[in-house]
Amino acid sequence: MTNEEMNELGISPSAYRFESHPSIRVEWRGPASWAIVDYGIVLNKDNQWEHEPSPSNRSDDFIERTRYPLNEALRRALKAIEENNT
């Protein structure tokens, strides 16, 4: 199915995986809010991985430092993969 067909049907992905590093993915967390995830840890805006608490235990500060717009999340995930593979 093409992107155009998905758009016409109102289908949008909730996660992106990367062939070069399958455990790292970008996951939807809400409107304009995406997280970079690797087995229960998330990448924060200081480029450090930290444990992601359960939803009811996520503070506003945690959400602010670990959520991104989609384009930024994809860019940061690709950079993290590149750094991990070197």
Supply the DSSP symbol for 42.
E
User: From residue 71, how far is each of 29, 45, 53, 58, 74 by CA, in Å?
Assistant: 14, 14, 24, 23, 5
By residue range, what is the domain housing residue 20?
15-84
Average pLDDT over residues 13-42: 93
Is 5 inside any structural domain?
Answer: no
Report yes or no: 51 and 62 within 8 Å, Cβ to Cβ.
no
Q: Which stretch of DSSP H or E encloses residue 50?
A: strand 49-51
Q: Is 60 exceeded by the pLDDT of residue 86?
A: no
Structurally, the chain folds into a number of domains equal to 1
pTM of the model: 0.86
Is 7 inside any structural domain?
Answer: no
Is 74 inside any structural domain?
Answer: yes
Is 28 inside any structural domain?
Answer: yes
> pLDDT tens digit string along 37-64?
999 899 999 999 999 999 999 999 999 9
Is 76 inside any structural domain?
Answer: yes
Is 70 inside any structural domain?
Answer: yes
Confidence of residue 3 (pLDDT cuts 50, 70, 90): confident
